[in-house]
Every structure is written in C-alpha cells, then in structure tokens.
Amino acid sequence: MVIQYKCPNCGSDMAFDSNSGMLACDSCGRKDNIETFPKENIKSNNEDTHFHGTNNSHTFQEGEVTEYHCKNCGAVILTEPETTATTCSFCGAGVVLSDRLSGELAPVKVIPFTISKEQAQNAFKSWCKKGLLTPKGFMNADRIKSITGIYVPFWLYDLNGSGEVNATCTKVRTYSRGDYDYTETSFFNVYRNVDLTFLKVPVDASEKMNDKLMDKLEPYNYSNLKDFNTPYLAGFIAEKYNYTDKDLFTRAKERANHYVDNYIRSTINGYSTTTYNHKRIDISQMESFYTLLPVWMVCYDYKQSEHIFAMNGQTGKIVGTPPLSIGKIFTWFGGISVISLLILRILTFILGGGF
C-alpha cells in the first residue's frame, strides 16, 4: 500500500520538515502537525500494490522485487524488499510503503531528523575543511554526488548485566635506605559483585549499513524518541530490518559484556596491578524496540572514486574514511618529530646534559 501526504491548501506533496518537526508543503509553505493531520489528505490505495514473488504476506523473501504505483504521476516504483519509504524517481514525491510497516514490521519508536538537507550539506563541507590529513582537493567539498536522508532500522535493547569478579591486586611501594633499594608489595584479595541495567543499547539491523560506521554515529539523544508515525518518513528513504532482535542479541550481549567489564574495572582502583582469578558476566534481555534512527548518507566523488560518509541526522556527528594526503602526513610527521626532538634536547639541557 502506497501512502502519500497531500497539502490541504494546494494539493502538492508534503514531506517531513526536520527544522519544525511537522509535515511541510514545499509549494505553499503550509505546515501541519503530524498528530492532527487530516485523514482525508492521506492518499493510499491497496489496489496499487502488486507482489512479484511467491509470497503475498508481510514477511518478504530475499531477492523479491515489489512494484508500486505513484499516486501523483502513475509511474511504477520498483523497490528493494527492505525499502519502507522512498521518493518517486519521476516526480520526486515522497512515498511511504505502509504494508512494510505493519504487523511485526511496524517500528515502535522513531527519532525524527532534526538536521535538514542544507544543514547536513553545510556541516559536511565544514567537516571536510577541518581534515588535518586530507588533501586540498577533498577539503573544498565541491564534489558531493548525493546526500540522502535514510531512516536506518535499529533494535534498541534494554539489558540486565550482572558481574562477579574475584581478583588479586597489589600495591607496590619503593624506598631507599643506605646502600639498598627496597620494594614493598602488599597483596589484596578483591571481590566485586555488580547488577547493572543498560537502557536502549542500539544495534543496527540493516544488512546494507556498515556496522562499524553505525556504531561510530552514536550516541543518539533519546529525549527525542517518538512513538512511530508514518508521516515522519515522508520525503525520506527508510529501510525495514533484515535481522530480528533474536538474531542481533549476540552483538548486543557482546557490547554489554564489555560495558560490565569496564564498569567493574572502574570500581577497582588504587592498586598497582590487578589479576583476575575468576570472572563471571551474565547478560539477559529485558526488552527490545524496533526503532528507526535518522542518518544522512553522503556520497562524495573524489579522484574517480566514491567515498561514503554518514552523518547522525539528529546530532550532526560525521563519520567515514576520508582520503589521506601523503604530503600532509609527511609534513605533520616531520613537524611533530622536530618539535619532539627540540623538547627532548631542551629537557636534556635543563637536566644538566648538553644541547
């Protein structure tokens, strides 16, 4: 089923405006609250959906291509099975494929975009200029091929982590008396038992998205977390999850394991050395929420090769691997080395050695 939001004023397509957090019409400038948007202006049609595959249910098969029709111009919209919101390639209208957002596939929460396309573009340009090791040509940021707002599917896990540790710790003190140096080592038996709760630990559920890139985009500000509503997706591209919460629990568990371990370590302080004799960490899932999180994907064309960058659509944090300039690497390397050498020589001079 295709859903399009029509302006009550002029009948043009409306899209979600990240600045105001409302549905906005580009033609006449009208803005409408998502919650109170008039139902008669939501155009949808069940008959426009044709499934080309063996299965007509909501669990989509791999490789299945689904055909939809645009309500504006009647053009055929061909999408990948994961797509839940897109734009018509012909008229540019925002399209939400609601049958992919119902039942088990319905997201529970969403963080709407708070950074507009223009803001994202400007932020990316200024980020490029800050690159200490990036080539001059890249720093101009004039080769942005495309910038796309995508709602990426995530599972947010509420986890309980319990940890128990038994360790042998030492405190070492050295002192001198006469012609002898003394090393005094005190041994301690240390025990810690913790019960921790982690809320909304995000794990990327899209096969297309690079997990490391998505991890670097964190943290999101959960005070903006809203109950899911389809108008938030209007004008953006959205994906449905490829992996269930059960599939991704192992990844969430790994992260929580690491967090519990670090927390325990932070409670054992004031010792010279710590050796674990016994460590037990248990992670259990309390709850999980299927959530859509905003990401601006920037495709940058530099020297006949594409570089993909991601920007947190809420906080503006940018991640991705930029090209590096060999000249700049050598310049920085040389500069830091010479300064370090000068500091070392000055220290030697101060301590009574030679310059």
Partner 1 sequence: MNTLNLMKNYLYRAKALTSGILLTFVLVFSFLMIKPILYVHADSTSQKVYDNAGLLTSEELMSLESAALEIGEKYNTDIYILTDEDSDGKSRKVYMEDFADEKEVTDSTIIFVNMESGNRGVEIQGYGTNKSLINSSRIEYILDDVTPYLSDEEYYQAFVTFLEEVDYYLGIDPSKDTATHAPDNNYASSDKYYEEENGANSILSEFWVQLIIALVIGGIAVGIMAFNSGGRVTVNERTYLDANHSRVIAQRDDYIRTTTTKTRRPQNNNNRSGGGGSGVSSGGRSHSGGGRSF
Q: Which residues from 283-312 bind partner 1, rule CB under 8 A?
A: 303-304
Strand order across the 22-25 sheet = 14-17, 22-25, 31-32
State which of positions 66-105 bind partner 1 (CB under 8 A).
none
Backbone angles phi, psi at 139, to 5 degrees: -65, -25
Cβ 188 to partner 1 shortest distance, Å: 5
User: Residue 162 pairs with which residues in a beta bridge?
Assistant: 195, 282
The Cα–Cα gap between 152 and 111 comes to 10
Cβ 153 to partner 1 shortest distance, Å: 19
Rule CB under 8 A: choose which of 50, 188, 227, 273 binds partner 1.
188
186 is a contact residue toward partner 1 (CB under 8 A): yes
Q: Is residue 92 left, alpha or beta, with left meaning phi > 0 and alpha meaning psi from -120 to 50?
A: left
Provide the 10 A C-beta neighbour count for residue 214: 21
Query: Rounded to whole angstroms, what are the CA distances from 232 to 33, 59, 89, 162, 189?
Result: 11, 23, 20, 38, 55
Site map for partner 1, 136-175, x if CB under 8 A? xx------------------------------xx------
Rule CB under 8 A: choose which of 56, 266, 278, 305 binds partner 1.
266
Rule CB under 8 A: choose which of 43, 125, 192, 226 binds partner 1.
192
State which of positions 312-331 bind partner 1 (CB under 8 A).
317-322, 324-331
336 is a contact residue toward partner 1 (CB under 8 A): yes
Cβ 280 to partner 1 shortest distance, Å: 13
Rule CB under 8 A: choose which of 36, 183, 223, 305 binds partner 1.
183
Rule CB under 8 A: choose which of 103, 126, 199, 208 binds partner 1.
199
Closest to partner 1 by CB, 78 vs 338, is 338
Cβ 326 to partner 1 shortest distance, Å: 5
352 is a contact residue toward partner 1 (CB under 8 A): yes
Cβ 353 to partner 1 shortest distance, Å: 4
Closest to partner 1 by CB, 95 vs 225, is 225
Rule CB under 8 A: choose which of 126, 244, 267, 277 binds partner 1.
267
Q: What is the DSSP string of 241-257?
A: -SS-HHHHHHHHHHHHH
Closest CA to 101 of 110, 92, 93: 110
Closest to partner 1 by CB, 36 vs 174, is 174
Long-range contacts at 52-60 (CB < 8 A, ≥ 24 apart) = 58/99, 58/100, 58/102, 58/103, 58/104, 58/105, 59/104, 60/100, 60/240
Q: Where are the alpha helices (DSSP H) in the chain?
A: 117-129, 136-139, 211-217, 245-267, 326-350
Provide the 10 A C-beta neighbour count for residue 166: 14
Q: 3-state class of 60 per DSSP? A: coil
Rule CB under 8 A: choose which of 228, 263, 276, 289 binds partner 1.
263
Closest to partner 1 by CB, 81 vs 316, is 316
Cβ 57 to partner 1 shortest distance, Å: 35
Rule CB under 8 A: choose which of 90, 211, 219, 244 binds partner 1.
219
275 is a contact residue toward partner 1 (CB under 8 A): no
Residues 6+ apart with CB under 8 A from 214: 152, 154, 204, 295, 310
End-to-end alpha carbon distance in the chain: 79
Q: Kindly state the greatest CA–CA separation across the chain.
A: 96
